[in-house]
Structure 1
Amino acid sequence: MPQNSTVPKILIVGGGYAGFYTAWKLEKHLRKGEADVTMVDPLPYMTYQPFLPEVAAGSIEARHSVVAHRRHLKRTNVLTAKVTNINHADKVATITPPLGEPYEFAYDQIVVTAGAVSRTFPIPGIADNAIGLKTIEEAVAIRDRVMSNFDKASSLPAGPERDRLLTVVVVGGGFAGIEVFAELRSLASSLVSRYPQLRFEDTHFHLIEAMGRIMPEVSLQTSEWVLKDLAKRGANVHLDTQLTSAVDGNVELSTGEVIPTDVIVWTAGVMANPTVVRGGDLPVEERGRIQTRADLRVGTPEAFVPGAWAAGDVSAVPDLSGGGVGGFCVPNAQHAVRQAKLLAKNLVAVLRGEDPKEYFHKNLGAVAGLGLYNGVFQSGKIALKGFVAWVAHRGYHGLAMPTWERKFRVIWGWWNNLWLGRDLVNLETVQNPRYVFEEFAARPRPAADAPAAPATKADAPKAAEPKAAAAKAPAAKKTAAKKAPAPATTDPAEHADATEKAAAK
């Protein structure tokens, strides 16, 4: 979208939940020509993260769980790049594209919605062997690794290596950890029926949780029901247990137990995107999030930073409902989407000289899928379990997926799976798509030996011969000439001439 230098410029940093919804709603609320909106994100799509566990289990097509920026943002200038510095004092941001040199972008209003990344600890082996669950690429990689390991294990005899390939370890007992753990357990149960060489008892699933309970978002009674349900399906949950090492895939626990595995999924917490938070001059609170007011302007309750806004996981927004941890909204999709919708309205209001409103949202409850036809739902004292909760889970997220185009793709995929079954295609080789081409591609032959280099001054002593040897050279040549046979020829005239010369001698 072409820039208009005479209207306010709005820069949105991040295209996840909060960033996409802010831009989407700004397009709705802004009058034509009222402001120029630019959104910057390294990815060209928004990921609907509640679907990641189902993507990892093969229940949802990966591309259906993301929303393309350029398709659904009609009047927003979308830049696929990174914001690596924010100089709000001068209202200039540094944009670093994937190709080319970084450049400065001047703005009037900035909206920081850069989201969060996986938060890890300096545990040996985690950085080298574990995988997170924050991106669609990670979910696909987990799915393909599990399926590929079944292929490998089916050709091995019973033993330690086969056990290692059929063992999955998930670290973190929050909603994301429990969902992906249960979904992968459900996937493994489906896969076993396709491999006559393997039995259900050959698969091993372990969840590691440092606290004494799982899923703090639901009641203790509901979380205990989930534990019993997982135990019925052969899954092991280690409570009050910490992971101390994961070197070479050997998961060592604080209890002394060692679990060899080829799949370690890390879901033990998130942190605000450090690239954006640290690369700027906006105020940051003690947990590394941008300090944000209830009206979603950056600042404290006493004073705000003019022209700066924040929302979503990267921000510390006060939870006026009183239900937030430490008095702030927890980092989840419910808050990110609703904050973004209000932020768009507030920003437009400020541009028009009106006062912004404060964000207030009481948690509607929590819903989680625990594999096909199984789930859990909690809202206040109301708790649903099993199939009914699973229907509620799919119904809620199917409707919450932004845009009707995306809703249709997801729901249509669920409908197909109901009749056709789970899609069990393994595409792990897509991570190395050129392996077949490289194996059979013709390559140039090795170059012939290079001709000898001419002698240099340094080689002169080696080339010099004694005078006596030089004197013998002509005599040697004469002797060689006498012994050498006459050159062969097919020309009769030349042959006669050579015979006459020999007779004369």
Structure 2
Amino acid sequence: MPKILIVGGGYAGFYTAWKLEKHLRKGEAEVTIVDPLPYMTYQPFLPEVAAGEIEARHVVVGLRRHLKKTRVITAKVTGIDHAHKTATITPEVGEPWQESYDQIVVTAGAVSRTFPIPGIAENAIGLKTIEEAVAIRDRILTNFDRAANLPPGPERDRLLTVVVVGGGFAGIEVFAEMRALASSLLPDYPQLRFEDTHFHLIEAMSRIMPEVSLKTSEWVLKDLAKRGAYVHLDTQVTGAVDGNVELSTGEVLPTDLIVWTAGVMANPTVVRGSDLPVEERGRIRTRADLRVGTPDEVVEGAWAAGDVSAVPDLTGKGVGGYCVPNAQHAVRQAKLLAKNLVAVLRDEVPREYIHNNLGAVAGLGLYNGVFQSGNLALKGFIAWCAHRGYHGLAMPSWERKWRVIGDWWHNFWLGRDNVSLQTVQNPRYVFEEFAARPRPAAPEAPAAPAAAPAAPAIDPKSVVGEAAPVAGEKADKPTDAATPAAVEASAVAAPAKTETKAPAKKKAPAKAKA
């Protein structure tokens, strides 16, 4: 039975395995998927998770729950030796091993791309995982609790200042959602005013959201400004040491929350540990039919899709001639990849991937959004409905759809559930504080002094005028030859009786011989 190994369980990886289960006949192939996380994250919903509009667990799809016929391995792929068709699997616990395969599908996705700016690696947080979205939400809620106990001043301003780096779709969405969250919190904190909260977005280019028209992006800028969210265009971050964000304009923004959304890059662990061909931007070189290789040469048995791959955009609209790294392409590529892989197994010809972009849609907080498709642009409430409608339908499986829709329905009637669970990062703090611990060991007693050397034996006959004690007779006090230890041992060995006994008669000393 041919073995299919899928590297990565994100959009492309999950959908590839999901569709293979539907297209493969029983016993036609064995499918294995490897990812360090046991779930796929629906990333377009991360801004809403950060704003407390969707429960975190509802935007992830459990691999084992939804892939019933696929072998799931929770580990990393740290090496691909396609020449010998083996992959190195490295689990978190245990020893690495070699996994053989006949067909490999590389869908390892992308990670946040950062630059060597002082302080960013130590103080900033990305927005690629569900854990990051939850941490952002909890940080905002916790900082409001702390700031409410402080008088006006620099420390309170620092806690209520948020800086987002990157003006693409992800940056604008999380920026607007956090601004909406902060505004909704103010009625619960009478000590704080709207003017006390500060939101700044830093963008190196002269515009935001390149996926939409310039006119639409300008409308977004004006809408954010009305809500007290400021965008710094043509500005770069030069430092972020100790929470002080330094800008190329000379301005310094003290903050306790820096969100980095300035670009992504192909997963370097998989790409660098592979012998598959890589293009200049660090992505796996992929053909239009999603097989690894060039238009003139095919790497047999190797496939790629999603953000880790450089797939030609046959519509001619892609940046640099390639499909842009977004969920829309990743999902559609995965569905076609599953069909093409099955076709190759059955000695059929695979089809080329071609997809016209349906447009771009973004949520800008509750009841506000923007949508662009060609020359058609929608703004405000109607665009917000389009945003939720599109992503609600795109969420895989009806089980996940109903959970997300349920969150929206409950929040409509009950409002946001604004409770910080930041201490979940250290869940044992209460237990550790009050847990009983063993008492420290008592100090060891000082060592007993060394016993004095025993006195030489004395012959009673050589002593004149003094009799030696008779056995069993209790001496009034120890003699010079008796040590305290010996006296104590004697007392333990023969405890004194309560009744008295007449002393034995003493013998007269013998006369000394001449």
* TM-score, normalised by the number of residues in structure 2: 0.89
What do residues 215-260 of structure 1 show as CA deviations (whole Å, max 9, x unaligned)?
A: 0000000000000000000011100000000000000000000000
SS at match of 2:188: coil
CA distance in 2, matches of 1:369, 1:56: 13
Q: Find 2:297's aligned residue among 303, 309, 332.
A: 303
1:138 maps to amino acid:
E
Do residues 426 (structure 1) and 420 (structure 2) align? yes
1:126 maps to amino acid:
I
Query: In 1, are the aligned partners of 2:451 and 2:483 still within 8 Å (CA)?
Result: no
SS at match of 1:399: helix
Q: CA deviation at 1:450?
A: 3.4
Query: 1:104-253, aligned counterparts within 5 Å?
Result: 104-253=98-247
Structure 1 residues 122 and 497 mapped into 2: Cα distance closer, same or farther (>3 Å)?
farther
2:316: which partner in 1? Answer: 322
Q: Find 2:389's aligned residue among 361, 379, 395.
A: 395
Q: CA deviation at 1:479?
A: 12
Do residues 25 (structure 1) and 31 (structure 2) align? no
CA distance in 2, matches of 1:431, 1:176: 25
Structure 1 residues 493 and 433 mapped into 2: Cα distance closer, same or farther (>3 Å)?
same
Do residues 75 (structure 1) and 81 (structure 2) align? no
Query: 1:397-412, aligned counterparts within 5 Å?
Result: 397-412=391-406
Greater fraction helix: 1
Q: Find 2:87's aligned residue among 71, 89, 93.
A: 93
Q: CA deviation at 1:193?
A: 1.1
CA distance in 1, matches of 2:61, 2:448: 66
2:369 maps to amino acid:
G
* TM-score, normalised by the number of residues in structure 1: 0.91
Q: CA deviation at 1:477?
A: 5.2
Structure 1 gap ranges (5+): 1-6, 456-462, 467-474
Structure 1 residues 255 and 465 mapped into 2: Cα distance closer, same or farther (>3 Å)?
farther
SS at match of 1:152: helix
SS at match of 2:94: coil
Query: 1:4-23, aligned counterparts within 5 Å?
Result: 7-23=1-17
2:266: which partner in 1? Answer: 272
CA distance in 2, matches of 1:19, 1:453: 71
What do residues 271-299 of structure 1 show as CA deviations (whole Å, max 9, x unaligned)?
A: 00000000010000010000000000000
CA distance in 2, matches of 1:116, 1:444: 48
Q: Find 2:499's aligned residue among 478, 485, 493.
A: 493
SS at match of 1:448: coil
SS at match of 1:138: helix
1:355 maps to amino acid:
V
1:291: which partner in 2? Answer: 285
Structure 2 gap ranges (5+): 454-477, 506-514
What do residues 453-479 of structure 1 show as CA deviations (whole Å, max 9, x unaligned)?
A: 799xxxxxxx8999xxxxxxxx99589
Structure 1 residues 290 and 452 mapped into 2: Cα distance closer, same or farther (>3 Å)?
farther
RMSD: 2.4
CA distance in 2, matches of 1:204, 1:438: 36
2:334: which partner in 1? Answer: 340
Task: Look at both structures and tell me which one has the larger radius of gyration over its CA atoms.
Answer: 2
2:47 maps to amino acid:
P
SS at match of 1:493: coil
SS at match of 2:413: helix
Query: 1:28-43, aligned counterparts within 5 Å?
Result: 28-43=22-37
2:457: which partner in 1? Answer: none
